[in-house]
Amino acid sequence: MMNWKNELGVIRPELGARVKAFFTERVGGVSSGPWGGIDGIMGLNVGSRVGDNSGCVRMNRSIVADLCPAEPRWMTQVHGIAVVNAEEVTDESVQADAQVTTQPGTVCVVQVADCLPVLLADAEGRVVGAVHAGWKSLAGGVIEAAVEAMRAKVPDCKLKTWLGPRIGFDDFEVGSEVAEVFRTKYPDVAGGIKTKDAKFCVNLAAYAKTALNKVGVEDIEDCGLSTFADAERFYSYRRDGEQTGRHAAVIWIEQ
């Protein structure tokens, strides 16, 4: 019988007292094929809408849940800016792109495979949040909306932020219309856009940092990892197409 615990890859950011967080890598589950690891086996895909076997997804999610105090609050992400209270997410009929909570033991989660995961926590562990920041959500203001929701719960919170693995600057090629959206939304970002082979490349992390700075969040740790560039550790929608897995970015307040 496979001992997945020996293979499970996770990244664990430090976000302050009473806060636990992690990001799952590609290996450590039971999925196979394009949802598997680089060798096509033992993939930890947590996405339920990407074509993977539903039983494998349930097992992979249970593996993730074993690392948490409770089942993560899985929701359906729609590339918008809606923020929900994690404790109100009871199933995937809830559609949003960020979760926040002040309740210890309630586990916030977002899924990504090139989009930028943003984990936020009050330095004293009073409120936490998880954000799915794809380009549409990022340009729409999902990070600002999440920070606003957290401050509504804890007005004096001092937020620390972790930017997780996402598609790298060199590999996120977009058309001129997408580049213009970012130039209009955040006109003063240095190094946010560059040209490559008649295309534009967008730096998701640079724009996320700008969004955070705009709302007064300056304590930011950027892991600097690219999902597109590292097929051994990460899934990538842009690299692999629709049939690929999803990672989990998870955060909670300790009980």
What pLDDT score does 198 carry?
A: 85
Name the pTM for this structure: 0.96
Let me know if domain 4-248 sits in CATH 3.30.565.10: no
Task: State the pLDDT at residue 3.
Answer: 43
10-residue stretch averages of pLDDT, the chain, 255 residues long: 60 96 98 97 97 98 98 98 98 98 99 99 98 98 99 98 98 96 93 91 98 98 98 98 98 97
- The residue written with tokens 């709302």 in the block is 215
Give the residue from 83, 70, 6 showing the smallest Cα distance to 42.
Answer: 6
Helix extents (H) in the chain: 54-65, 135-140, 142-153, 176-185, 204-214, 237-240
Looking at residue 7, what is its pLDDT?
A: 75
235 is written with which tokens?
A: 């899934």
The residue ranges of every structural domain in the chain are: 4-248
